[in-house]
Structures are given as structure tokens and as C-alpha cells.
């Protein structure tokens, strides 16, 4: 397209448009707080900006996941603390039942208290957090055990599965955060099996069998040590989650700082640029207005 303006006027308009564009961009930075709000603002920085946004979003999601995991792990730790206390109660009751002054009737009454403890243990094994049975392994929609007092062995077989779930650390690695109820309460090693130990104690008391009672009571300390070891495992997991969370929070701050450096405007600099552009615009318009205007009538006169 041909311009009807003379070269001098065209150059003036071009320069004026450049000043107006600079002023508009400075105003945009002041109002939005961003020096990059569209691709054309900094095409060479877009890939870095997109990666920074992606890293920040990923870290935020990882922290959110760790928050949910912390709730599960804390609930698991609390459940095992309760289980340890219940086992100690069973041990104490067993020691009472082993006394020679007990009768068959009193031992049966003690056994009933121990049966109640088994039932409470089953309930703890079924701890549910946000709709997930946290001790059921990967089968977290399935309660790990059922309890039927009418059966000789009232606790069912383990109904869950192995736990292969891993949680991502903000540094990119993964770690395990859960034990299964089978590992905790129902170890295949007889000397470590919590349910077997308590049920054996109950059965011996109901049978009023002194040697069996003594043997069952004697087995309790080893089971107690085993259960405390499982509790300690959850303490280790809690520390891992806490360390990962702190790492993620530090990383989040670093990424936010990096992103701010790439996209955030410098308010002082933006205001200075806007003021300079306004001054240049006014000066250009004033200079243009003072230029002499010669027309054909001037020559004819």
C-alpha cells in the first residue's frame, strides 16, 4: 500500500507508534505485574516459562499427595499405638489368669475380655482413611479381616493383598508408605503372630489348662516386641514423609522465585519506562505542532 505522507511525516508517525507501544507495554506490566503476558512479549523465554510452570505445578501436586499420605501414615501410627496398648492389656489379663487362685469360671471371664481385645484388634486392622483401608495393601477397598465370634477361629484369613504402592518424593525418587495387616498382625512366623498369640491365650484360659496358659503368657513378650517393631516402622515412614514435605516446600519456593524472575515485572522499572514514554510522546507531539506549515496559498500570496 502506498502512503500519501511525505517521508518526514511517515517517520514521525512510525516513531510515535513505537513510543505508544512502549508506553502501552509498560502500562500492561504495571497493571498485571507481569513482564511476559503473551508469547510476543518474550518469544525466547516462553519455553523456559512453560517448563518453570510445569515444574511448579508438579511440585505442588506432589506436596498435595504427601499431605494425604501424611494423614494415612499418622492414622496408621495411631492405630498401631492402640494395638500395642491392647496387646499389653491381653498380656496383663493373661498373667492374672495364670494365677493359681483363679477358677475355671474366672478364667473363662478373663478369656472373654481377651476375645474383646481380639475384636478390637480386627477393628484397628480395618482402619479406614478417606475411603481406603490403609492396611489392606493394594486391595484398599476390601476390609482386611472379618470377625465371627461363633467360629473356633473368629478372625478370618487375610482378605487384602500385598502393598506395592509407592509415593513420589519431590526429588523424583519413590518410597513405600504402608505395611499390610498381614505383616502387622498376622505374621506367618508363629512367634510373631499377634492374632495367634492372643487367641491361644484365650483358648488356654477357656480350657483351664495351666501349662497351656503359662506357655501362652510366656509367648506374649516376643509378640509385643514384634508389634512394637511394626509401630517403629511407621515412625520411620512418618519421618520420610516429613523430610519429603520439607524438601518439596523448599523446592517450591525456589521454583516460584525462578518463575518470578522469568515473568514478573519490575514495578519501579515499568513505571519509569511508562513515564519516559509519556514524556517522549508529549515532546514529539509538541515538536510536531511547532513545525512550520507551508501551503500553495503561501506561494500564491
pLDDT (tens digit per residue) in 21-79: 545 554 554 555 555 554 444 455 567 777 877 888 999 999 999 999 999 999 999 99
Cα 79 to Cα 21, 124, 202: the distances in Å are: 65, 6, 22
Q: What is the mean predicted confidence (pLDDT) over 180-202?
A: 95
65 against 283, higher pLDDT: 65
CB atoms within 10 A of CB 66: 24
How far apart CA 200 and CA 206 sit, in angstroms, is 10
**What CATH number does the domain located at 67-259 have?**
1.20.1330.10
Q: Please indicate whether residue 181 or residue 296 has the higher confidence score (pLDDT).
A: 181
| 296 pLDDT above the threshold of 80 | no
pLDDT of residue 284: 54
- Which pLDDT does position 225 carry in this prediction? 97
Angle, alpha carbons 243-244-250 (nearest 5°): 90
Instruction: Write the pLDDT tens digit of every residue in 133-174.
Output: 999 999 999 999 999 999 988 999 999 999 999 999 999 999
Q: In angstroms, rounded to a whole number, what is the distance separating the alpha carbons of residues 44 and 49?
A: 10
pLDDT on residue 55:
87
Q: In the chain, what is the straight-line distance between the N-terminal and C-terminal CA atoms, in Å?
A: 35
Whole-number Å distance between alpha carbons of 227 and 185: 8
* pLDDT at position 50: 75
SS3 147: strand
Q: Is 172 left (phi over 0), alpha (psi -120 to 50) or beta?
A: left
SS3 165: coil
| pLDDT, position 39 | 41
Q: How confident is the model at residue 190 (pLDDT cuts 50, 70, 90)?
A: confident
Banded pLDDT at 281 (limits 50, 70, 90): low
What pLDDT, on the 0 to 100 scale, is given for residue 26?
46
pLDDT at 285 over 50: yes
**CA–centroid distance for 20 within its chain:** 48
Length of the chain: 301
* Sign of the alpha-carbon torsion through 88, 89, 93, 94: negative
Q: Please report, for the chain, the start and end positions of each structural domain, with discontinuous segments joined by +.
A: 67-259
* pLDDT for the residue numbered 54: 86
Whether this prediction's pTM lies above 0.75 is answered by no
- pLDDT category of residue 237 using cuts at 50, 70 and 90: very high
Nearest C-alpha neighbor of 170 from the set 240, 245, 236? 245
Query: Rounded to 5 degrees, what angle do the CA atoms 156, 185, 115 make?
Result: 60
The candidate with the shortest Cα–Cα distance to 236, out of 63, 76, 61, is 76
Q: What is the mean pLDDT of the chain?
A: 83
Q: Which residue has the higher pLDDT, 128 or 280?
A: 128
Q: Give the 3-state secondary structure of residue 174.
A: strand
Q: What is the pLDDT of residue 272?
A: 52
pLDDT, tens digit, for every residue of 66-124?
A: 999 999 999 999 999 999 999 999 999 999 999 989 999 999 999 999 999 999 999 99
Q: Name residue, grid cell 498485571.
A: 32
Amino acid at each position: 500500500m502506498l502512503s500519501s505522507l511525505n517521508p518526514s511525516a511517515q517517520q514521525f508517525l512510525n516513531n510515535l507508534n513505537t513510543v505508544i507501544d512502549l508506553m502501552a507495554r509498560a502500562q500492561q506490566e504495571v497493571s498485571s505485574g507481569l513482564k511476559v503476558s503473551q508469547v510476543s512479549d518474550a518469544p525466547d523465554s516462553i519455553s523456559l516459562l512453560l517448563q518453570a510452570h510445569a515444574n511448579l505445578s508438579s511440585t505442588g501436586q506432589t506436596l498435595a499427595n504427601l499431605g494425604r499420605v501424611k494423614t494415612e501414615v499418622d492414622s496408621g501410627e495411631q492405630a498401631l499405638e492402640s494395638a500395642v496398648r491392647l496387646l499389653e492389656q491381653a498380656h496383663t489379663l493373661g498373667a492374672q489368669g495364670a494365677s493359681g487362685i483363679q477358677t475355671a469360671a474366672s478364667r473363662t471371664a478373663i478369656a472373654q475380655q481377651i476375645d474383646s481385645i481380639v475384636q478390637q484388634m480386627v477393628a484397628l486392622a480395618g482402619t479406614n482413611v478417606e475411603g481406603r483401608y490403609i492396611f489392606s495393601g493394594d486391595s484398599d477397598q476390601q476390609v482386611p479381616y472379618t470377625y465371627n465370634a461363633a467360629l473356633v477361629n473368629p478372625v478370618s484369613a487375610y482378605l487384602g493383598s500385598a502393598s506395592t504402592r509407592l509415593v513420589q518424593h519431590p526429588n523424583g525418587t519413590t518410597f513405600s508408605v504402608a505395611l499390610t495387616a498381614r505383616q502387622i498382625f498376622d505374621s506367618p512366623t508363629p512367634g510373631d503372630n499377634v492374632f495367634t498369640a492372643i487367641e491361644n491365650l484365650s483358648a488356654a484360659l477357656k480350657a483351664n489348662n495351666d501349662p497351656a496358659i503359662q506357655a501362652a503368657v510366656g509367648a506374649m513378650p516376643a509378640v509385643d516386641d514384634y508389634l512394637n517393631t511394626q509401630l517403629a516402622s511407621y515412625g520411620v515412614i512418618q519421618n520420610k514423609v516429613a523430610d519429603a514435605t520439607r524438601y518439596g516446600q523448599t523446592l517450591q519456593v525456589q521454583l516460584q522465585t525462578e518463575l518470578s524472575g522469568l515473568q514478573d515485572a519490575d514495578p519501579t522499572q515499568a513505571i519509569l519506562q511508562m513515564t519516559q514514554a509519556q514524556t517522549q510522546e508529549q515532546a514529539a507531539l509538541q515538536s510536531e505542532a511547532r513545525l512550520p506549515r507551508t501551503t500553495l496559498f503561501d506561494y500564491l500570496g
